[in-house]
């Protein structure tokens, strides 16, 4: 990636593209460097406008009643589904609206718990777990892709089998192969780690699972990949995938669950209520096919409409270009961090592929103090365990400092991060004699 | 970077390295563990009382965390050794009030002594919990000690 410019993104200069975002447009040149997009991304004005336009002119219920207003609102709602489904490479019936990736993963785990309890009839029996069945999760997972599986194991007597990471927080097919068995029923992992920036080789891992564990479902946490690189979920071969709107320039409170159609049609809906059903008696309910069987109650329609606008915006930029831009920034950060004395880079070493984020440990300075120092220097990063305590335990630290990029991130911003990071050890009085340190402007 | 130096005053940076009272304590009358799940900081406070059960004879802590939480525990030990339970409680209340002030007012130096250095922390809402960690742990120890005393 070295030498590759990251001040353009496709046909556009990043400096121009930033004007699409009110937060950068209005802050001018002295805006803090916002390097916490892996937590929540900023939103372009047209995404905010789309939501407001819907609320001001088209607000009405969806999928109920007979008015023309309901018809328009329903069309906008389902057109948005088609747009986002195309964006992630799913069929329209294969995209269920969820609150966020966490919620989407819970829909799968709770549906399997229901199936294990005998709900959903014969078609749901493929999801039923029995004592001794195995659930495989990676030690590096975000808590959102760990705790639902812990709870599912506790409910069913299944056993959790962790894939271990190495000293850099990395893993691969060999580590996965070590825990796969014919009793494996779920394999859950993130396409991009929110801490290490590791890119999982999804196709290779799926092929391995199919060979060793034919009964297993592959569940992909795609919330750090869908916003940053081209996605073709159907082609990837995974069974389920989860993503969040607020990480892809879209609203909070909306995300998606992808599932292969035949699986979604058979998975019991863990949350039930209005809109999910065909025939209801006092004793019994029958459910619609996917996706509507999972969408109980009034849906967040304005957020759905705005999320589709975010998908269109990203699509116009071109996801291959987005990935190239962010990988170039990540390479720049990884190379610079590796040169800083007393700073340890987590995840792939410089020169190896990584997603657009870096996490570091500064020797002898707690991550919260690092974050405070950077904040004062006008650099917004995330500090803490990033909802991945088992990973941090494996790394032997309680917390790390993470800088993450998005479409609007500039070289200048990542350079300000590196400069400020270089001054941390001196400020806290732990820099060794002769240790070259950066200067905070 | 005057703001940052207001937060990390030299006395705080010094305490974060000196860590007074860092270590185990035998024959503790009360012990309490505090954990901050947002950052993973944790600390166990132990106190030993005099024969009458009225006065903190010695206090010590073991923990891991950011410079603010470690320095605060160190300053706490300096302030509290030899205090009665009532005096200690009064100082915890004053420290909490100072940290909730969001930078307003003048801290009570007579009560808090060097611990007034943490007044600057009150302007950083995300760090107030760090400074309070050991003080909350001591407060729980005092409650336990009073319950035992009857």
CATH of the domain at A162: 3.40.640.10
Instruction: Please identify among residues 52-111 of chain B the ones whose CB lies closer than 8 Å to any CB of chain A.
Output: 64-68
Question: Nearest-CA neighbor of A286 among A277, A273, A275?
Answer: A277
- What number is the average pLDDT over the span A297-307? 97
Q: What are the residues facing B55 on neighbouring strands?
A: B84
The answer to whether residue A3 sits within a structural domain is no
The answer to whether residue A433 sits within a structural domain is no
Which of A262, A291, A315 corresponds to the end of one domain?
A315
* Judgement on whether residues A16 and A145 belong to the same structural domain of the protein: no
The CA–CA distances, whole Å, from A425 to A341, A365, B69, B81, B131 equal 9, 7, 18, 32, 21
Task: Tell me the pLDDT tens digit for each residue of A303-343.
Answer: 999 999 999 999 999 999 999 999 999 999 999 999 999 99
* Judgement on whether residues A22 and A120 belong to the same structural domain of the protein: no
CATH of the domain at B90: 3.90.1010.10
Task: Tell me the pLDDT tens digit for each residue of A387-412.
Answer: 999 999 999 998 999 999 999 999 99
Determine contact, residues A435/A355, Cβ cutoff 8 Å: no
- What number is the average pLDDT over the span A209-221? 98
* Residues in B touching A383 (Cβ below 8 Å): 39
The total number of structural domains that make up chain A: 2
Name the residue range of residue A341's domain. 8-42+319-427
* Residues in A touching B3 (Cβ below 8 Å): 376
Name the residue range of residue B132's domain. 2-149
The answer to whether residue A438 sits within a structural domain is no
* Judgement on whether residues A353 and A220 belong to the same structural domain of the protein: no
Residue A387 appears among annotated catalytic residues? yes
Question: pLDDT band at B150, cuts 50/70/90?
Answer: low
The CA–CA distances, whole Å, from A402 to A34, A383, A414, B69 equal 12, 6, 12, 21
Tokens of A281: 């008696």
Which of A281, A315, A349 corresponds to the end of one domain?
A315
Q: Which residues contact A374 (CB under 8 A, 6 or more apart)?
A: A380, A381, A401, A417, A420, A421, A424
CATH of the domain at A379: 3.90.1150.10
Q: Which residues contact A405 (CB under 8 A, 6 or more apart)?
A: A35, A37, A325, A326, A329, A330, A356, A357, A414
Q: What are the residues facing B48 on neighbouring strands?
A: B58
* Judgement on whether residues A125 and A269 belong to the same structural domain of the protein: yes
* Judgement on whether residues A18 and A115 belong to the same structural domain of the protein: no
Question: Nearest-CA neighbor of A259 among A226, A237, A277, A278?
Answer: A237
pLDDT of res. A352: 95
Q: Catalytic one among A387, A394, A397, A430?
A: A387
DSSP B23: S
Distance CA B137, CA A130 (A): 44
Distance CA A327, CA A352 (A): 10
The answer to whether residue A214 sits within a structural domain is yes
* Judgement on whether residues A78 and A199 belong to the same structural domain of the protein: yes
* Residues in B touching A399 (Cβ below 8 Å): 39-40
The total number of structural domains that make up chain B: 1
* Judgement on whether residues A293 and A352 belong to the same structural domain of the protein: no
Which of A315, A349, A366 corresponds to the end of one domain?
A315
Question: pLDDT band at A259, cuts 50/70/90?
Answer: very high
- What number is the average pLDDT over the span A290-311? 97
Q: What is the ipTM of this complex?
A: 0.87
Question: Please, what sign has the CA dihedral across residues B11, B12, B18, B22?
Answer: positive
How many CB atoms within 10 Å of residue A174? 9
The answer to whether residue A338 sits within a structural domain is yes
The answer to whether residue A440 sits within a structural domain is no
Between chains, do B39 and A427 touch, taking CB under 8 Å as contact?
Answer: no
């Amino acid at each position: 990636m070295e030498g590759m410019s990251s001040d353009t993104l496709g046909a556009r200069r990043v400096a121009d593209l930033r004007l699409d975002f009110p937060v950068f447009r209005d802050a001018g040149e002295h805006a803090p460097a916002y390097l916490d997009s892996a937590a929540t991304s900023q939103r372009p004005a047209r995404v905010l406008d789309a939501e407001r336009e819907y609320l001001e002119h088209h607000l009405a219920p969806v999928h109920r009643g007979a008015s023309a207003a309901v018809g328009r609102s329903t069309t906008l709602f389902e057109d948005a589904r088609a747009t986002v489904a195309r964006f992630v490479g799913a069929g329209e019936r294969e995209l269920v609206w969820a609150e966020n990736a966490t919620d989407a993963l819970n829909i799968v785990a709770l549906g399997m718990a229901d199936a294990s309890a005998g709900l959903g009839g014969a078609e749901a029996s493929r999801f039923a777990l029995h004592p001794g069945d195995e659930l495989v999760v990676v030690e590096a997972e975000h808590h959102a892709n760990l705790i639902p599986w812990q709870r599912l194991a506790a409910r069913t007597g299944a056993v959790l089998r962790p894939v271990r990471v190495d000293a850099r927080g990395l893993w691969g097919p060999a580590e996965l192969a070590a825990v796969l068995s014919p009793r494996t029923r779920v394999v859950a992992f993130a396409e991009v780690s929110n801490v290490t920036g590791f890119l999982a080789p999804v196709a290779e891992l799926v092929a391995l699972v199919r060979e060793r564990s034919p009964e297993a479902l592959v569940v992909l946490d795609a919330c750090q990949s869908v916003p940053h690189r081209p996605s073709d979920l159907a082609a990837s071969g995974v069974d389920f995938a989860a993503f969040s709107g607020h990480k892809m320039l879209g609203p909070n409170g909306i995300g998606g669950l992808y599932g292969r159609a035949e699986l979604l049609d058979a998975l019991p809906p863990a949350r039930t209520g209005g809109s999910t059903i065909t025939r209801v008696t006092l004793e019994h309910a029958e459910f619609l096919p996917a996706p509507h069987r999972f969408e109980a109650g009034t849906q967040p329609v304005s957020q759905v409409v705005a999320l589709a606008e975010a998908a269109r915006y990203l699509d116009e930029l071109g996801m291959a270009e987005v990935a190239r831009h962010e990988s170039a920034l990540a390479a720049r950060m990884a190379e610079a961090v590796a040169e800083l004395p007393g700073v340890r880079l987590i995840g792939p070493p410089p020169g190896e592929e990584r997603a657009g984020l870096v996490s570091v440990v500064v020797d002898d300075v707690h991550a919260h103090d690092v974050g405070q120092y950077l904040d004062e220097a006008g650099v917004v990063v995330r500090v803490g365990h990033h909802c991945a305590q088992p990973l941090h335990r494996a790394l032997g630290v309680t917390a790390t400092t993470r800088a993450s990029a998005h479409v609007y991130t500039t070289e200048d911003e990542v350079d300000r991060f590196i400069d400020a990071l270089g001054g941390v050890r001196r400020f806290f009085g732990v820099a060794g004699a002769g240790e070259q340190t950066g200067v905070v402007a | 970077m005057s703001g940052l130096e207001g937060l990390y005053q030299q006395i705080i940076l010094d305490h974060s390295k000196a860590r007074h009272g860092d270590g185990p304590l035998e024959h503790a009358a009360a012990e309490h563990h505090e954990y901050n799940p947002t950052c993973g900081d944790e600390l166990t406070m132990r106190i030993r009382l005099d024969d009458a059960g009225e006065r903190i004879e010695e206090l010590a802590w073991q923990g891991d965390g950011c410079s603010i939480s470690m320095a605060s525990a160190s300053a706490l030990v300096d302030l509290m050794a030899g205090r009665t339970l009532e005096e200690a409680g009064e100082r915890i209340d004053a420290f909490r009030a100072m940290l909730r002030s969001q930078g307003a007012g003048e801290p009570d130096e007579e009560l808090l002594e060097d611990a007034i250095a943490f007044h600057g922390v009150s302007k950083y809402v995300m760090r107030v919990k760090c400074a309070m960690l050991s003080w909350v742990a001591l407060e729980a120890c005092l409650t336990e000690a009073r319950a035992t005393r009857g």
